[in-house]
């Protein structure tokens, strides 16, 4: 395979997504999917429905908090367990073990542990904090999405941690040694070397996790409430509705989900551009 | 006096241990536990009813397990073949062509499966492949090919092609070079790519649900149904079946460490 095929390879790998997005774009204005012709009705109907706006905001909230918790935990673990000692190696291994676990299995675990009569509630009963399952604060299907946030943060933490380990073991190590040789203290090294290396290196992965979590279906369907309804659940609900109008709205939601991810990428690029002169 | 970082390390290590092994232990316990009522911390009875129900003859999960397995293997092999060619082609490009190629490979990985599924389903319906296992296979191929292309992009970027050049100089044709040099030398990478593609397919829900129209039943869909029906024991058993193959792949081939190289370029 030579370089003249690179264009064809790029086209083939991206084509199904582009075709899907193009279909959603046309279907969202009535030009595909059995509608009568061009119409902005699906867009106006979707935005007139306050549940959609709340659902989108709710999904962004869950994604932002889960990504923030996973990122901070990954930075903490990567910074504390970076040495070549045996215990640090064990800690780094333990941190990435949950990485290959499917999201469905993570969602099942969330229900078994955080549910109203789950293991956490049983522990609370034994500790004398609650006297019946109903007294346990709702951690799943709750309006704030606490259970979903915890499960997604736990599930995404290994991915970000893995990249943080790699960053600190590579470029970070040599820069820190140089700073130490020049007489910098531990805190000064962290502030001027470790943190910039970590945040610049982790930013693409954090953006990817945020975009992924915003649109993730598996854990959301198992742990999220029905009101507000999360964006991916609303999309599937409208897409599987027999009404043509609902399907067109589903395509509007698809495009909004993609725009949310694109917005995160644009924000990331803007922050990088702002940071570059001082780098 | 013990320093703050040392205290933090001592506090975090047990948490990491719990985070790594507690989930599997819980799933294992729930899968064999019966008569486990609130507020008991341990099940009243331990037996293998859940496993027999899930895997025994005539069990509902069996066809779903077979469908998931067939889809995973077929997706893994096809995505490996595609990814090897696409990845090597993009790796050989320079300048903006390479940037565009890498960006294109990122697209199916980064796009939310729900978004990919809805547009793709309508296209598959038009081609007469909607709600069929072939349609689901094609849908699974989309993200799987993205992952394997990125994987091989990383592999071919650092790989020297000296042996292939030598074979060509000695008169070998394109197919001979692939068959006699590239494949024998890259056996491990090819196997890892098959596993990577298979794992992507193995855990898919949204793509299967939409492209399969609810008719193609795979293991993750059945697990979700069990949980929603309140059959925790069967859901835990199915979850373990879902979790074990990727964990083995991760442990044996250290796929995750290679994923970093794949994601970062």
Contact list in B for residue A6 (CB cut-off 8 A) is: 89-90, 92-93, 97-98, 101
Q: How confident is the model at residue A267 (pLDDT cuts 50, 70, 90)?
A: confident
Q: Which residue does chain A place closest to B235, by CA atoms?
A: A108
**C-alpha distances in Å from residue B184, one per residue of B78, B87, B180, B191, B249:** 18, 18, 6, 11, 21
Q: Evaluate if residue B221 carries a pLDDT over 70.
A: yes
CB pairs < 8 Å spanning A and B: 269
Q: What confidence score (pLDDT) does residue A30 get?
A: 81
Which residue of A27, A33, A261 is in closest CB contact with B112? A261
- Mean pLDDT, chain B, integer: 86
Q: What confidence score (pLDDT) does residue B229 get?
A: 92
B115 and A22: CB-CB below 8 Å?
no
Q: What is the mean pLDDT of residues A158-164?
A: 90
B224 and A222: CB-CB below 8 Å?
yes
Q: What confidence score (pLDDT) does residue A78 get?
A: 93
A14 and B209: CB-CB below 8 Å?
no
Contact list in B for residue A147 (CB cut-off 8 A) is: none
Contact list in A for residue B98 (CB cut-off 8 A) is: 6
Is A256 within 8 Å of chain B by CB? no
Is A2 within 8 Å of chain B by CB? yes
A6 and B92: CB-CB below 8 Å?
yes
Is A83 within 8 Å of chain B by CB? no
Which residues are CB-contacts of B20 (< 8 A; sequence separation ≥ 6)? A94, A95, A97, A98
Rounded Cα distance between B237 and B163, Å, is 48
Rounded Cα distance between B254 and B257, Å, is 6
Lowest mean pLDDT among A30-39, A41-50, B127-136: A30-39
Q: Rounded to the nearest 5 degrees, what angle is found at the Cα of B227, between the Cα atoms of B232 and B59?
A: 80
Which residue of B86, B108, B209 is in closest CB contact with A16? B108
Percentage of chain B modeled with pLDDT above 70:
94
Q: Quote ipTM for the complex.
A: 0.85
Contact list in A for residue B89 (CB cut-off 8 A) is: 1-3, 5-6, 8-9
Q: What confidence score (pLDDT) does residue B220 get?
A: 95
Q: Which of B119, B126, B142, B152 best tests the A interface by mutation, with the highest count of A CBs <10 A?
A: B119
Contact list in A for residue B72 (CB cut-off 8 A) is: none
Rounded Cα distance between B246 and B218, Å, is 16
Which residue of B114, B220, B250 is in closest CB contact with A215? B114
Which residue of A32, A163, A208 is in closest CB contact with B260? A163
Q: What confidence score (pLDDT) does residue B112 get?
A: 82
Q: How confident is the model at residue B60 (pLDDT cuts 50, 70, 90)?
A: confident
Q: Evaluate if residue A200 carries a pLDDT over 50.
A: yes
A217 and B93: CB-CB below 8 Å?
no
Q: Which residue does chain A place closest to B3, by CA atoms?
A: A80
Q: Evaluate if residue A277 carries a pLDDT over 80.
A: no
If 0-12 CB within 10 Å is exposed, 13-18 middle and 19+ buried, where does residue A171 land?
middle
Q: Which residue does chain A place closest to B8, by CA atoms?
A: A80
Closest by Cα among A94, A98, A218, A70 to B246: A98
Residue A278, min C-alpha distance to chain B (Å): 23
Rounded Cα distance between A52 and A235, Å, is 10
Q: Which residue does chain A place closest to B84, by CA atoms?
A: A1
Q: What is the mean pLDDT of residues A36-43?
A: 82
- With beta carbons less than 8 A apart as the criterion, state whether B146 and B109 touch: yes
Is A36 within 8 Å of chain B by CB? no
Q: What confidence score (pLDDT) does residue A229 get?
A: 94
A258 and B203: CB-CB below 8 Å?
no
Helix (H) or strand (E) holding B34: strand B33-34
Tens digits of residue pLDDT in A126-152 = 999 999 999 999 999 999 999 999 999
State the angle between helix axes of B113-126 and A244-275 in degrees (0 to 180), rounded to the nearest 10: 140
A254 and B114: CB-CB below 8 Å?
yes
Q: What confidence score (pLDDT) does residue A146 get?
A: 96
Residue A271, min C-alpha distance to chain B (Å): 18
Q: Evaluate if residue B265 carries a pLDDT over 80.
A: no
Contact list in B for residue A248 (CB cut-off 8 A) is: none
Residue B57, min C-alpha distance to chain A (Å): 24
What is the DSSP code string of A215-261?
H--HHHHHHS-TTTTPHHHHHHHHHTSS-HHHHHHHHHHHHHHHHHH
Rounded Cα distance between B204 and A207, Å, is 21
Q: Chain A window 213-232: which residues touch B at a Cβ cutoff of 8 Å?
A: 214-218, 221-222, 232
- Mean pLDDT, chain A, integer: 88
Which residue of A13, A32, A217 is in closest CB contact with B86? A13
Q: What confidence score (pLDDT) does residue A1 get?
A: 52
Reading the block at residue A31, the tokens are: 């030009």
């Amino acid at each position: 395979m030579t370089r003249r095929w690179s264009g064809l390879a790029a086209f083939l790998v991206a084509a199904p997504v582009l075709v899907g997005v193009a279909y959603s774009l046309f279907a969202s204005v009535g030009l595909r999917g059995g509608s009568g012709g061009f119409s902005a009705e699906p867009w106006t109907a979707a935005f007139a429905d306050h549940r959609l706006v709340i659902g989108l905001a709710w999904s962004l909230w869950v994604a932002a908090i889960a990504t923030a918790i996973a990122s901070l935990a990954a930075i903490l673990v990567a910074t504390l367990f970076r040495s070549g000692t045996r215990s640090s190696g064990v800690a780094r291994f333990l941190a990435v073990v949950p990485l290959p676990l499917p999201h469905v299995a993570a969602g099942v675990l969330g229900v078994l542990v955080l549910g109203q009569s789950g293991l956490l509630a049983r522990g609370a009963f034994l500790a004398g904090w609650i006297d019946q399952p109903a007294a346990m604060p709702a951690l799943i299907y709750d309006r704030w999405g606490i259970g979903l946030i915890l499960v997604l943060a736990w599930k995404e933490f290994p991915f970000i941690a893995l990249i943080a380990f790699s960053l600190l073991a590579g470029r970070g190590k040599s820069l820190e040694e140089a700073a130490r040789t020049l007489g910098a203290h531990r805190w000064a090294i962290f502030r001027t070397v470790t943190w910039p290396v970590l945040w610049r290196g982790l930013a693409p992965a954090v953006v990817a996790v945020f975009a992924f979590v915003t649109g993730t279906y598996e854990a959301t369907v198992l742990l999220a409430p029905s009101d507000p309804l999360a964006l991916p659940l609303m999309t599937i609900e409208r897409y599987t509705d027999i009404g043509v109008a609902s399907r067109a709205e589903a395509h509007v939601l698809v495009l909004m989900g993609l725009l949310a991810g694109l917005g995160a990428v644009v924000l990331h690029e803007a922050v990088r551009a702002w940071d570059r002169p001082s780098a | 006096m013990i320093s703050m970082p040392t205290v933090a390390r001592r506090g975090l290590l047990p948490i990491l241990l719990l985070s790594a092994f507690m989930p599997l232990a819980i799933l294992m316990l729930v899968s064999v536990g019966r008569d486990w009522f609130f507020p008991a911390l341990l099940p009243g009875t331990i037996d293998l009813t859940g496993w027999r129900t899930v895997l025994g003859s005539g069990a509902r999960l069996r066809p779903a397990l077979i469908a998931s397995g067939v889809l995973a293997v077929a997706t893994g092999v096809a995505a490996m073949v595609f990814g090897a060619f696409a990845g090597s082609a993009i790796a050989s490009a320079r300048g903006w062509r390479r940037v565009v190629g890498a960006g294109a490979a990122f697209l199916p990985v980064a796009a939310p499966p729900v978004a990919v599924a809805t547009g793709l389903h309508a296209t598959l319906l038009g081609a007469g492949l909607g709600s069929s296992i072939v349609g689901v296979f094609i849908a699974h191929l989309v993200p799987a090919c993205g992952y394997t292309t990125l994987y091989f992009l990383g592999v071919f970027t650092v790989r020297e092609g000296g042996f292939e050049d030598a074979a060509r100089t000695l008169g070998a044709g394109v197919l001979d070079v692939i068959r006699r040099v590239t494949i024998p030398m890259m056996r491990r990478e090819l196997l890892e790519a098959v596993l990577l593609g298979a794992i992507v397919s193995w855990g898919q829900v949204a793509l299967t649900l939409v492209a399969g129209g609810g008719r193609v039943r795979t293991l993750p869909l059945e697990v979700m149904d069990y949980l929603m029906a309140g059959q925790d024991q069967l859901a835990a058993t199915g979850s373990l079946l879902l979790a074990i193959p990727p964990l083995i792949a991760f442990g044996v081939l250290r796929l995750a460490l290679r994923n970093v190289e794949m994601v970062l370029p």
